[in-house]
Amino acid sequence: MSISIATDRCIGAALCALTAPEVFTQDDDGVSRLLPDGPQRARSSPVREAARACPVQAITVSED
C-alpha cells in the first residue's frame, strides 16, 4: 500500500490524524505528514477512511 499527501492542498483539518493516528501526524504548521513507520502500519488501520474523511481530498491511497 502506498500513501501520498498533497501537502499543498492540505488545510490542516486534522481528520486524517484523528482517524488514523498510527499513520498520520501534523507538522508545526498543521500540515499532514506520514509518520516514519506509518505506511507499514497502514494495512491494519483505517487509512482509507481517513482519505475519505479529508475535506480537500489531499490523501491518495493505492495498492502496490
Which of 49, 12, 10, 8 has the alpha carbon at shortest distance from 23?
49
Single residue of 5, 20, 23, 47 touching ligand SF4 by CB under 6 A: 5
The answer to whether 10 contacts ligand SF4 (rule: CB under 6 A) is yes
- The whole-angstrom separation of Cα 6 and Cα 32 is 9
Rounded to the nearest whole angstrom, what is the least distance from the CB of residue 51 to ligand SF4 in the complex?
Answer: 8
Q: Is 42 in the site for ligand SF4 (CB under 6 A)?
A: no
Q: Which helix (H) or strand (E) holds 4?
A: strand 2-5
Binding site for ligand SF4 (CB under 6 A): 5, 10-16, 32, 54-56, 58-59
